[in-house]
Structure 1
Amino acid sequence: GPTNSLGISVAGGVGSSLGDVPIFVATMHPAGLAAQSQALEVGDQILSINGVSTEGLSHTEVDALLERASGNIELQVATRDDFADSLEENIMVGFTDDPRPLECRTITLERKSAGLGFSIVGGFGSPHGDLPIYVKTVFGKGAAFVDGRLKRGDQIIAVNGQSLEGVSQEEAVGILKRARGAVDLTVLS
């Protein structure tokens, strides 16, 4: 289980079994500071810890950063419902001026015979716990590649306005397969 004072364990990161995806909160110990402060949620992305960016780190390296951190821990996070309020307790969630904050946008892809051209990972009940749906691979042909905006690690929040929150990977695949013609993807990237 988690050995840091926040009581969280993380997943994702460079070289993870999900591919190179952002670092996110995988589990929270109910007695940990993070759970008690209610400012972090499972699935939140951790962008930096005490000013150290998690970009390009493995989850093992991020675990080590969290273990060494004590006292006031400043986390920059991107939550599924936009940005968290700052935490009380002795956790501070700080927002530095990140040059590219996570933004939610809509990408419309025209489904051709080759399909939408990307695969997904994560979802409710995944081997790594209940996660958001992430883009795993954008194939070298297909609508997503031609469009050029969808990237590996992007979180897909909704398809044609239908929220993917709480759906399994299988259900999300079904929703994407059933979508015909112009498909609106709401994406956090």
Structure 2
Amino acid sequence: MSWHEAATAAQEAAENGVGDEQEEQETDRLLNGGAGGGGTSGQKVGDRRGSVDKKKNSKETMVHEPAVLIEGVLFRARYLGSTQMLCESRGSKAARMAQAQEAVARVKAPDGDVQPSTEIDLFISTEKIMVLNTDLQRISDTDVRQDILMDHALRTISYIADIGDLVVLMARRMSTSHSDESCSDGDSQSGGVRKTPKVICHVFESDEASFIAQSIGQAFQVAYEVLNSQELLGDELEMFAKKETQKEVVVPKKAGEPLGIVVVESGWGSMLPTVVLAHMNPIGPAAHSNKLNIGDQIININGISLVGLPLSAAQTQIKNMKTATAVRMTVVSTPPVVEVRIRRPDTKYQLGFSVQNGVICSLLRGGIAERGGIRVGHRIIEINGTSVVAVAHDRIVNMLATAVGEIHMKTMPTSMFRLLTGQEQPQYI
């Protein structure tokens, strides 16, 4: 895969990525005041600064080593300025190159005029691209830092172009809300105001412009090779789509009698979000039917789809069946414990989720964790064959932080876990 192909594939795969709110603030500052002012936060540089003075041929060998790109490489360049323009929906390479050329025309001073510029260090890794002030701040005898002028997560970069000795870096602008203004989304609504997706174009000048662009493309390739090596575990869409995996269940009951079940959410990150059967009243109609099992995912009830409904709405639909004398359900039988398998070649690759006291709290959309079966709201039961039910939070975090290779986990919805372990009393509907 060429760096152009890698960058294009990465941009398409990252359309739904959400960057940091700080990126928006940094971009606004650059647009309004240029790169002259130093940032307030610092980035430890250490030995990486030494790569600036290496010869081009030795640097080229070094940069194309995946481990080096994970750590990050440094290039010396001159920052000329930034400009903002509308983001073309699914724009072709030619259209994006035209935008890059327009950005250069806006930023570059006319022939004969003095070109304002600021000397910077351009830091490139498989996680982010940063623009650093070249002035070093010595913190101690062994620690130096550089001010960060700009910080973009790699997934927010939509295009890279080298035009002569210039590099144009194009990054998606974030919306002011938590939703992402990606190029594929078209206009979005926020408070009744239609917003057009925009892209911020940063222009740099360097004798190594072509090599800088290649290095960014290579960073995309390394980052997404890891993602592509992660299989989509469970293949939920196929499982739900196949008729043979679905079963029709009819539960006879008396009018006015509840079904006697407890349902919980399948977990954010599920390919097909619906409710999961977490508990049954042993003397209720559902249990007496002998046709349902803990872990079954309910697709619809009496012809009403529950897929994608909030938990409260799904519970309301189930409660509405109280007057019926028979309830017909379509379910997909799945085990209550979810098997997770994540491939992580090195600890330098982020797993892409956070955990608090054994409960998965957040998840990076499209990352290796989601593809491996991680779901928000699930309780981790086991990591690589070791039970973590009674393990302290710090120990769980350490086990995950140091795990490499193929990581095996078992999880289940937290509410189901609490019901099955007697930490919560079931409220049957």
TM-score computed with the length of structure 2 as normaliser? 0.27
CA gap 1:187/1:121 in 2 versus in 1, 3 angstroms: same
3-state DSSP of counterpart to 2:258:
coil
Match in the other structure for 2:317 = 65
**Aligned counterparts of 1:110 and 1:73: Cα–Cα separation in 2:** 47
What are structure 2's unaligned runs of at least 5 residues?
A: 1-255, 412-429
Deviations 1:129-157 (A, max 9, x none): xxxx7x542247xxx82676246637778
**Aligned counterparts of 2:408 and 2:390: Cα–Cα separation in 1:** 16
Shift in Å, 1:112: 1.6
**Aligned counterparts of 1:148 and 1:27: Cα–Cα separation in 2:** 26
Match in the other structure for 2:329 = 74
- Which residue of 353, 357, 381 maps to 1:118? 353
- Which residue of 276, 289, 292 maps to 1:24? 276
Match in the other structure for 1:108 = 343
Task: Point out the structure with max Rg over C-alpha.
Answer: 2
Q: What's the C-alpha RMSD, in Å, of the aligned pairs? A: 4.4
**Aligned counterparts of 1:150 and 1:185: Cα–Cα separation in 2:** 9
CA gap 1:107/1:181 in 2 versus in 1, 3 angstroms: closer
- Which residue of 307, 316, 323 maps to 1:55? 307
Report how many residues are paired.
146
On the 8 A contact 1:50/1:74 being kept in 2, the answer is yes
The amino acid that maps onto 2:300 is S
**Aligned counterparts of 1:152 and 1:109: Cα–Cα separation in 2:** 14
Match in the other structure for 1:137 = 362
3-state DSSP of counterpart to 2:309:
coil
CA gap 1:11/1:175 in 2 versus in 1, 3 angstroms: same
On the 8 A contact 2:277/2:296 being kept in 1, the answer is yes
Shift in Å, 1:182: 0.8
Between the aligned residues of both structures, percent identity stands at 25
Shift in Å, 1:163: 7.7
CA gap 1:52/1:8 in 2 versus in 1, 3 angstroms: same
CA gap 1:46/1:117 in 2 versus in 1, 3 angstroms: same
Match in the other structure for 1:168 = 389
CA gap 1:19/1:110 in 2 versus in 1, 3 angstroms: same
TM-score computed with the length of structure 1 as normaliser? 0.51
**Aligned counterparts of 1:6 and 1:177: Cα–Cα separation in 2:** 43
What are structure 1's unaligned runs of at least 5 residues?
A: 83-102, 124-132
- Which residue of 251, 254, 265 maps to 1:12? 265
More relative contact order, 1 or 2 (CA 8 Å, 6+ apart): 1
Task: Determine which structure has the larger helix proportion and give its number.
Answer: 2
**Aligned counterparts of 1:55 and 1:146: Cα–Cα separation in 2:** 24
3-state DSSP of counterpart to 2:287:
helix
**Aligned counterparts of 2:294 and 2:357: Cα–Cα separation in 1:** 12
3-state DSSP of counterpart to 2:263:
strand
